[in-house]
A and B are shown apart, each in its own frame.
Chain A
């Protein structure tokens, strides 16, 4: 499947992809990561998170993983999610879309800093 077909991604989906891009995380850790990265402005609700996760699993953007990253911190009841290669492609495509949007905005003087 062409990664472009899924764009633009819903905001929550993109954030979740970013959250699992560097390491496998469980649900609550995803919420926490997003909260930290957005400076507390985005706090996903449980419903939004798991509805997004359900769809992302169906779309093969992420998978549930059996491997536990750090056994000493692991709570075995939790489910961990990992980004798939396809998920990574989609995240890249979405980032590029944003980058080109930002380029255009900059050309119009809408982004602070260098023209």
Chain B
């Protein structure tokens, strides 16, 4: 029988309470009447009967309660709308941030068995580098010596001029080993990927297109296979097209070609430019692979002590490659979103508590008439579920509309799509958030308002107030914490934005013409191209200066970082190497501090000269002018004499410390060498917006070489703004959260004070009648508000300090205890208090003692 009683829990409490004994009786009689094995049939019938009855009664209760809830909601539309809006806000915040965090941090990468894919780097622990690109010979030896991996493949970024089909264009791609595609376990949409034999030097060129490039450039033509394309003037045959969501290694990649090394390519162990991916063999854990690779690397370091001194290896999961910064940022956003959801919930709980107080009469009458408590709680909960459900639908719609904005926070270097897809995970989360919200704000008021007997009703008022007070304090605390976090991030943003990059950004643009090799392998030929283009650029109306450099500052390439050899010693401090044309410093407004600029007369026949940045001089010749000093570089064993010193620039990021730079004359580059460092970024400065000249600039380049595309056109202001783009998005999002939290908290204070004032009208009247002054009455109500917001602010500031400490890495040097931010947060807390209390104070002051006392 106990089992039958257990079964009856399928039925709603109200039904069970009424009929369980009766049903048990029927069941007992049936069992008694059953003959032989008949009891089995009776039990089977009983189980299905109880389950079906449970479902049906639950269903009809739901319909009944929803109808009732709907009528109640329509009766107080203001209240219902407020509840819907608040829950929509909280659910939207949580859902949208979840979608981004899930996309970037959690969701499996779009490859077969992605948890087994790792990246392998060289490491130089003594110099503090854990992820260093790999040299080809080290890659080759790792692959031969290791047993932990089923596949290992190398790849590198690639950038070519596409010509021979319509307008010439600069394409970003990747040069990869044939084994990369099987390693990732992705098959092409059309055709095939590279074969091992196409991986060797001398094989005909083949290319696999990205879906995006195939659609954009070839209109999705299924006959594209076999087409010949010209990359930097060399023929490549299209052999395949990848599916739409294949982004490897990053989102910008539009095509893949085979990477080839001859013996010479395997010669230099210190020429590090490869990325290496591998797939763990079945049964091999990451730790086992790490251990094996340590052994392999140690053996290599013993074998090549000169090249590999202090060089180790790092093995990490592909997913973990994300920067700490991205992680921290998303964690902060998630915390902020949860705060908003929490504030929304407490706010709603307060709203419902206030209303349940107003409905006390109705509820106590129903209790007195014999309505079961479970039945009433269920009904009240259905009401909050209905409102939260509508809020959830609105919130999900809102989340879907802001996700594109938030998607800018997903780093483009990740092999995932730019936009998270709206799928069942997002919907499931929204549903969960809705359920939690409804539970959070519905259950407490429902339980509280149905507790106790009619006679005790009025006595519980005081206690209920305490709960509401705690909820308001929590809201104030959460909003103050959010506000100070926003303030800190805003200060960091402003600081980064106000950082001087070292060059002037207004009225200047950069564009790229990457000259294809071997067509332009002659330095003199390149020099002729540059001079031709620069001459015409300078002749454009309004253009004041123009010049060309190997890599623009703050651009997407870090461009050579070399260790200079000063006085026979290779320096530990690497410096950026930049090849420029004369007039670069003038164009960029980089101040020439001492000596002279590179000149047209510095060419292959004269002494190799260099202009260096101030930090370079301070590093190597502290206290001296640096002029006339000489230094060398390992590459090509070149020696340079310093002829000029210029101001520092931030060339690798606005938030990095200033690093030294060496500028060399392009005209002095040796023949047939340093192709990667050939100047490609033209800089144009004008007295007006130089963007108006863009069509003319295209014509100028086309006149110098008709198949030469230009790419990466950017105003220098954009260059600097891009540096802070994710920061700005992040500040916007958090600020939006903080504003919402601030408003909700102020509304919370207001609601609580108005409510408690309503209950105290007679008391106020009495005080008035006994001679209390307007000021005293105002102070009474105001004091209550101040107490709430003081408690909340102190708590909130504590949380803010903790939060600030955890996000220190994002603060660009702003202290988490920044006094400006903290005092601003306190100031806003004051505003919040005044805003929340002003109406109740006025109402209290206006209470007429005669009317108030008569109502008693």
Interfacial residues, chain A to chain B (CB-CB below 8 A): 26-28, 31, 45-51, 53-54, 77-79
Alpha-carbon separation in the docked complex, A50 to B19 (Å): 7
Q: Which residue of A lies closest to B53 (CB)?
A: A47
Alpha-carbon separation in the docked complex, A45 to B22 (Å): 12
Residues on B with C-beta less than 8 A from A51 are 15, 53, 56-57
The answer to whether B230 has its CB under 8 Å from any CB of chain A is no
Q: Can you pick out 25 interface pairs between chain A and chain B where the beta carbons lie within 8 Å of each other?
A: A26-B22, A27-B22, A27-B26, A28-B26, A31-B26, A45-B46, A45-B53, A46-B22, A46-B23, A46-B27, A46-B46, A46-B50, A47-B53, A48-B49, A49-B26, A50-B18, A50-B19, A50-B23, A51-B56, A54-B15, A54-B19, A77-B21, A78-B22, A78-B25, A79-B22
Q: How far is the CB of A48 from chain B (nearest CB, A)?
A: 7
Instruction: Tally A-B pairs: CB < 8 A.
Output: 48
Q: Which residue of B lies closest to A77 (CB)?
A: B21
Alpha-carbon separation in the docked complex, A78 to B45 (Å): 23
Residues on B with C-beta less than 8 A from A46 are 22-23, 26-27, 46, 49-50, 53
Alpha-carbon separation in the docked complex, A53 to B49 (Å): 15
Task: Report yes or no: B25 in contact with A47, Cβ–Cβ below 8 A.
Answer: no
Q: How far is the CB of B505 from chain A (nearest CB, A)?
A: 77
Task: Report yes or no: B49 in contact with A50, Cβ–Cβ below 8 A.
Answer: no
The answer to whether B29 has its CB under 8 Å from any CB of chain A is yes
**CB < 8 Å: which of B25, B49, B52 contacts A28?**
B25
Question: Contacts A28-B26, A48-B49, A78-B22 given; 14 further ones with Cβ under 8 A?
Answer: A28-B25, A46-B23, A46-B49, A46-B53, A47-B23, A50-B15, A50-B23, A50-B53, A51-B56, A53-B19, A54-B15, A77-B21, A78-B25, A79-B22
Residues on A with C-beta less than 8 A from B57 are 51, 54
Task: Report yes or no: B53 in contact with A48, Cβ–Cβ below 8 A.
Answer: yes
Q: How far is the CB of B367 from chain A (nearest CB, A)?
A: 19
Residues on A with C-beta less than 8 A from B49 are 45-48
Task: Report yes or no: B19 in contact with A28, Cβ–Cβ below 8 A.
Answer: no
Residues on B with C-beta less than 8 A from A49 are 26
Q: How far is the CB of A80 from chain B (nearest CB, A)?
A: 11
Task: Report yes or no: B45 in contact with A45, Cβ–Cβ below 8 A.
Answer: yes
Q: How far is the CB of A77 from chain B (nearest CB, A)?
A: 7
Task: Report yes or no: A28 in contact with B29, Cβ–Cβ below 8 A.
Answer: yes
Given A27-B25, A28-B29: A47 in contact with B18 (beta carbons within 8 A): no
Q: Which residue of A lies closest to B22 (CB)?
A: A27
Q: Which residue of A lies closest to B21 (CB)?
A: A77
Interfacial residues, chain B to chain A (CB-CB below 8 A): 15, 18-19, 21-23, 25-27, 29, 45-46, 49-50, 52-53, 56-57
Alpha-carbon separation in the docked complex, A45 to B43 (Å): 12
Task: Report yes or no: B52 in contact with A47, Cβ–Cβ below 8 A.
Answer: yes
Residues on A with C-beta less than 8 A from B26 are 27-28, 31, 46, 49
Residues on A with C-beta less than 8 A from B19 are 50, 53-54
Q: Which residue of B lies closest to A47 (CB)?
A: B53
Alpha-carbon separation in the docked complex, A28 to B19 (Å): 12
Alpha-carbon separation in the docked complex, A51 to B51 (Å): 12
Closest 8 CB pairs of A and B: A47-B53, A45-B49, A46-B26, A50-B19, A47-B49, A46-B23, A27-B22, A28-B26
Alpha-carbon separation in the docked complex, A28 to B52 (Å): 20
Alpha-carbon separation in the docked complex, A110 to B26 (Å): 39
Residues on A with C-beta less than 8 A from B56 are 51
Residues on B with C-beta less than 8 A from A54 are 15, 18-19, 57
Q: Which residue of B lies closest to A27 (CB)?
A: B22
Residues on B with C-beta less than 8 A from A50 are 15, 18-19, 22-23, 53
Residues on B with C-beta less than 8 A from A26 are 22
Residues on B with C-beta less than 8 A from A53 are 19
Alpha-carbon separation in the docked complex, A53 to B50 (Å): 15
Alpha-carbon separation in the docked complex, A27 to B26 (Å): 8
Q: How far is the CB of A65 from chain B (nearest CB, A)?
A: 14
Alpha-carbon separation in the docked complex, A45 to B51 (Å): 12
Alpha-carbon separation in the docked complex, A68 to B699 (Å): 107
Alpha-carbon separation in the docked complex, A108 to B15 (Å): 46
Residues on B with C-beta less than 8 A from A78 are 22, 25
Alpha-carbon separation in the docked complex, A54 to B57 (Å): 10
Q: How far is the CB of A29 from chain B (nearest CB, A)?
A: 11
Residues on A with C-beta less than 8 A from B21 are 77
Q: Which residue of B lies closest to A51 (CB)?
A: B53
Q: Which residue of B lies closest to A49 (CB)?
A: B26
Q: Which residue of A lies closest to B29 (CB)?
A: A28
Q: How far is the CB of A49 from chain B (nearest CB, A)?
A: 7
Q: Which residue of A lies closest to B11 (CB)?
A: A47
Q: Which residue of A lies closest to B45 (CB)?
A: A45
Alpha-carbon separation in the docked complex, A45 to B56 (Å): 14
Residues on A with C-beta less than 8 A from B46 are 45-46
Alpha-carbon separation in the docked complex, A47 to B56 (Å): 10
Name, among A48, A49, A50, A79, the residue most crowded by chain B CB atoms within 10 Å (CB to CB).
Answer: A50
Q: How far is the CB of A35 from chain B (nearest CB, A)?
A: 11
Q: Which residue of A lies closest to B10 (CB)?
A: A47
Alpha-carbon separation in the docked complex, A2 to B328 (Å): 68
Q: Which residue of B lies closest to A45 (CB)?
A: B49
Name, among A27, A47, A78, A79, the residue most crowded by chain B CB atoms within 10 Å (CB to CB).
Answer: A47
Q: How far is the CB of A58 from chain B (nearest CB, A)?
A: 10
Residues on A with C-beta less than 8 A from B25 are 27-28, 77-78
Alpha-carbon separation in the docked complex, A50 to B45 (Å): 15
Q: Which residue of B lies closest to A55 (CB)?
A: B60
Q: Which residue of A lies closest to B30 (CB)?
A: A46
Alpha-carbon separation in the docked complex, A49 to B53 (Å): 10
Name, among B19, B27, B29, B46, the residue most crowded by chain A CB atoms within 10 Å (CB to CB).
Answer: B19
Alpha-carbon separation in the docked complex, A27 to B23 (Å): 9
